[in-house]
Amino acid sequence: MTDSQLLLSIAVLGGTGKEGKGLAYRWAKAGYHVFIGSRTPEKAEAAAKELLGLLEGEAHIEAMSNVDAARKANIVVLTVPYAAHKDTLESVKELLNGKLLIDVTVPLVPPKVASVQMPPAGSAAQEAKQILGDGVEVCAAFQNISYEHLLDNGSVECDVLVTGTSRDARAETIKLVEATGLNGWDAGPIENSVVVEGLTSVLIGINKKYGSTHAGIKITGASKQST
Amino acid sequence: MTDSQLLLSIAVLGGTGKEGKGLAYRWAKAGYHVFIGSRTPEKAEAAAKELLGLLEGEAHIEAMSNVDAARKANIVVLTVPYAAHKDTLESVKELLNGKLLIDVTVPLVPPKVASVQMPPAGSAAQEAKQILGDGVEVCAAFQNISYEHLLDNGSVECDVLVTGTSRDARAETIKLVEATGLNGWDAGPIENSVVVEGLTSVLIGINKKYGSTHAGIKITGASKQST
């Protein structure tokens, strides 16, 4: 991709939550043009203003509706709670043809958030693919990250496993992972998303059991040098 | 458990494969009484002899049939290929009442071993629980380990995620993980086994993609000191 990242724009749907704001901040800092989407325009405006403040105005961040953000961007990132997953996807479905959707959603089912409970499609990412159809590439990524450290420029001690509908889509997503300062790994086809999404429940359980707050994972025994 | 581990015996069903031999070796070395089970008595004898040789005779290792091993041991570990999973469990089912089964099986479906393909029960461990019924505790563990380094006393750069039917069963299994020199984490209820088993496909895919041979995982951001 070399310098072409400056030409790419990223929509962050649900970009007013902590996950979305953290990712939008990192991408804007890396030079991407970021559209913060929300169902509530004032919330999107407030989030964009906050992030522009943190970046001292040196960034391209615009606030808009989820629909406008999905229409304008080359790459669309979904960071809504699972309860809004299906409705949000259906509201932007027609606008995503030919684009890449990166699904950050974890299908947690309260109150048992430390138990893996996947939807009938197998995972949230597979559900997204079912809703969006053949014209859209879908990747899953960022489910296991603690978002607090994205905004304060801290290092995040957690690798990002990337699953998706094609090798090219995963490679594109891994570049966006690296742009946030994190380390991304190709974790295989979209069917493997159950591992990535389910790992969040495992990590929630580990935090509860061992008194930690930011349990994560690192891949060991492999190196990305040759890729 | 303090010193009581010397009273416990462990059956390793399918103990003549590389996974079973590696685990049997580490447990025998730690002082456990180990029964190597196999469908083929000569293979069990050969494996027991090999391990006793490595341990210079200073270990309790006996060779026998899977059925006899399951009958005699307090804890039964299943390390057969997935194709033999159901039949092996049904052959020892009546002997496991009141015991703990540790299922090491990964339900890989060749040729797509880097794609997560779980059985209808949700995972091999949940399938084992369905077959064995209420009288048996079932845990899943050790699916992500490279077994080569168990036999040569090398350090294994991979944590062990332990899921299971009760907190006590998981705690017991984690003690057995630690006895092998590895680091075990409580990864939650048996429903979470899809993550642990599926992670093996993700790691196989990472090995293939990045040219590694022993990709593993480590839990970061949490400590086991307080447990």
Q: Which of A115, A186, A194 sits opposite B198 (nearest CB)?
A: A194
pLDDT tens per residue, range A126-140: 999 999 999 999 999
Rounded Cα distance between B37 and B16, Å, is 8
Query: Which residue in chain B has the smallest CA separation from A194?
Result: B195
Q: What is the pLDDT of residue A227?
A: 47
pLDDT tens per residue, range B169-212: 999 999 999 999 999 999 999 999 999 999 999 999 999 999 99
**Per-position b or e across B44-72, b if 16+ CB within 10 A of its CB:** bbebbebbbebeeeebebbbbbbbbbbbb
Rounded Cα distance between A115 and A137, Å, is 28
Residue A176 DSSP one-character state: H
A149 at interface of B, judged by CB pairs closer than 8 A: no
pLDDT tens per residue, range B133-174: 999 999 999 999 988 888 888 788 899 999 999 999 999 999
ipTM reported for the complex, 2 dp: 0.94
Q: Apex CA A195: angle with CA A189 and CA A196, to 5°?
A: 85
Q: What are the C-alpha distances in Å from A72 to residues A32, A66, A173, B110?
A: 13, 10, 18, 42
Query: Of B22, B208, B8, which is closest to residue B113 (Cα–Cα)?
Result: B208
Q: Apex CA B212: angle with CA B105 and CA B85, to 5°?
A: 10
Tokens linked to A204: 């929630």
Confidence class for position B226, pLDDT limits 50, 70, 90: very low
Residues B69, B12 contacting (CB under 8 angstroms): yes
B194 at interface of A, judged by CB pairs closer than 8 A: yes
Q: What are the C-alpha distances in Å from A181 to residues A116, A160, A162, A175?
A: 28, 11, 15, 10
Cα-based torsion angle of the residue sequence A92, A94, A97, A103 in order, rounded to the nearest 10 degrees: 20
Confidence class for position A7, pLDDT limits 50, 70, 90: low
Rounded Cα distance between B156 and A214, Å, is 24
Size of interface A-B (CB pairs under 8 A): 145
pLDDT tens per residue, range B35-73: 999 999 899 999 999 999 999 988 999 999 999 999 999
Instruction: Say if pTM beats, i.e. exceeds, 0.90.
Output: yes
Q: Give the lowest-confidence range in A121-130, A145-154, B26-35, B168-177.
A: A145-154
